[in-house]
Amino acid sequence: MVLVLVLVVVMVLSFAVYSFSSLMVAEYAATTTGLTHMQRRELVNSGLELASLAIRQQAGPQSSERLVLPTKPIRLQLPDGRTAAISFLQQLPVAGKPAAFGLRNESAKLNINTLPLELSRRKESRRRLMVIKGITVQIADAILDWMDPDDEASEFGAETSYYTAQAPPRKPRQGRFAELSELLQVRGITPGLLYGEDQNGNGILDPEENDGAQTFPPDNGDGFLQRGLSDYLTLLSCESTLLPQGRRKINLNQSVLARLYDQLEPAFGSDVATYVVAWRMRGATYLDEPRPDEGEQQEQRRLERLESVRKRLESQLGSVDGRSPSLMADQTRRAGLTLSDGSMRFQSLVDLFGGQVRVPVDGKDTLLKSPWAADPVTIRRVLPMLEQMLTTVDSDVLPGRISINDAAEVVLRTIPGITESAASAIVRMQPEIRQTESGSEFQSVAWLMSRGIVSAAELRAMGSSITTHGDVRSGIAIGQTAGSLSVSAAGFMLDCSGRNNRIVALHDLPVMAGESAGLKNLAEKPQ
């Protein structure tokens, strides 16, 4: 009996040791997996810092030390000797499709928060919205009515009286949109229209989003994630107006003309400074401008003049001491000019080319011509330099311009003044742009003229709405370590337009296999 009892005790102890060992092995595996996941997640965080730095440097002066966001995984060595990698994807690829490395430029979309709401430009804003498939005239007017400050419904729009009668009742914001999902509150916009097949908003082509009509949401089962209007609309697209040292560029539209002259003269000379302040006082005429049409355009110009007069009166009546900057400048003279109200405003830097201004100089009627001709060679040579030094706004950021280097054709067609043939020609050039190193001619909108896509007059009409940059980027950062078949990923949006980088949106994606993210095993020899 003692022997049996000893055997039982030995068996129990052996089983306890075995259980404890199994538990420790499982615990070790879990700890190792958790540590690997933490390492991958920290790689993702490092990727966000790297992306921020690259975005900040993209519009700065060209240099050999400039950081360019890579289009392949970045390999690095961890302290424990293992190989790791950081990758940036525009979106998760579909099985069997190559990964699209890089980041998505939010300036490649139409920023609805920057659409003009003035009566004189209301039809233009409506037209720009209606270019995008799915937006009808009723939806376009409803979007504009949601944002405008008044409570008077436009021709096909909707205001408070409509929304309060709905179930549940609601009120229009009567201000700019706070987030893209707010569009679902606007009359006529459904989740299917706004998000397409990606109605859960995770950016992944889930099985239920690629099975036709079998399960919700409805989709076409083509293996591609259709994102609806969210693929073409944004609320945040802007560019920095700061120099690399953090100082602001020279604002051509600043209120005090004497200060503008004094800033321009050391950098560009007295001829340029004189022409610019004269342009601000009188405006310029351009010989290549087409004759203004009658009818609708004539009515638009009349409304613009009324709005300009109203704004000027409001600014004068709103001055505290009764001395507006323009009145104080009446006694100031520069280069023979008596500086008065700078009521004319540059729409873009392209306005500097090819114009002429008639203005009294030392009491004599004088015709001042632009220092720069409006020909392709001059614009290609001078405009990139002006873009590095000048701006047309007094803030740190310039919002709403569309990047012609990145935008889809339907977004390009929303640009005021662009033709369908020009939009198609730009899209045909984009593969070449993506393969060209930074610092090339494509860093400035001047390439539209040097490649013969638009004329000087067309570039002038489009100038205030186009760019080749964009400091708000979105994408997916992925962390990967050797020896692990899984990767960690996070979708994000970075705003690097101001003085400080900020993460606008960040959401963790499920841990997934590297193959599903379009990434090879790190154990493989790199190409």
Q: Are 361 and 337 in contact (CB under 8 A)?
A: yes
Structure tokens at 371: 């220092």
pLDDT of residue 27: 87
CA–CA distances in Å: residue 198 to residues 89, 207, 490: 18, 11, 17
3-state secondary structure of 483: coil
Domains of the chain, by residue range, sit at 1-103+237-243+396-527, 107-236, 250-380
Q: How confident is the model at residue 56 (pLDDT cuts 50, 70, 90)?
A: confident
CA–CA distances in Å: residue 12 to residues 1, 3, 8, 9: 16, 14, 6, 5
Four-point Cα dihedral 501, 89, 484, 522, nearest 10: -110
More confident residue, 256 or 61: 256
Give the tens place of pLDDT for each residue, 305-361: 555 656 656 655 554 444 444 444 445 888 888 887 778 899 999 999 999 999 888
Percent of the chain past pLDDT 70, that is, above it, reads: 80
In 355-394, which ranges are E strands?
355-361, 364-369, 390-391
Residues with Cβ within 8 Å of residue 360, at least 6 apart in sequence: 337, 338, 366
Give the tens place of pLDDT for each residue, 119-128: 888 999 999 9
Note every long-range contact of 372-381, with CB atoms under 8 Å and residues 24 or more positions apart, other chains counting: 374/286, 374/288, 374/456, 374/460, 375/456, 376/446, 376/449, 376/450, 376/452, 377/450, 378/353, 379/350, 379/353, 379/446, 379/449, 379/450, 379/456, 379/459, 380/441, 380/444, 380/446, 380/447, 380/449, 380/450
pLDDT at 202 over 70: no
pLDDT of residue 504: 87
The two counts, helices (H) then strands (E), for the chain are 14, 19
CB atoms within 10 A of CB 18: 10
Average pLDDT on 195-223 reads: 67
CB atoms within 10 A of CB 169: 9
Scanning the structure block, which residue is given the tokens 């205001």? 159
Phi, psi (5° rounding) for residue 98? -70, 150
| Distance between start and end Cα atoms, the chain | 71
Structure tokens at 406: 């990145």
pLDDT of residue 54: 79
pLDDT of residue 321: 45
Q: How confident is the model at residue 63 (pLDDT cuts 50, 70, 90)?
A: very low
Task: Give the separation between CA 97 and CA 90, rounded to whole angstroms.
Answer: 13
pTM: 0.82
More confident residue, 397 or 60: 397
More confident residue, 318 or 255: 255
Task: Give the separation between CA 185 and CA 197, rounded to whole angstroms.
Answer: 19
> Which ranges of 94-200 does DSSP label H, i.e. alpha helix?
122-130, 137-147, 160-163, 191-195
Which of 391, 42, 356 shows the shortest CA–CA distance to 240?
391
pLDDT of residue 389: 92
Least confident of 190-199, 216-225, 234-243, 372-381: 216-225
The class level of CATH for 107-236 reads mainly alpha
Q: Are 503 and 48 in contact (CB under 8 A)?
A: yes
Four-point Cα dihedral 105, 107, 109, 115, nearest 10: 160
Least confident of 91-95, 329-333, 488-492: 329-333
CA–CA distances in Å: residue 136 to residues 187, 193, 227: 11, 12, 18
pLDDT of residue 291: 53
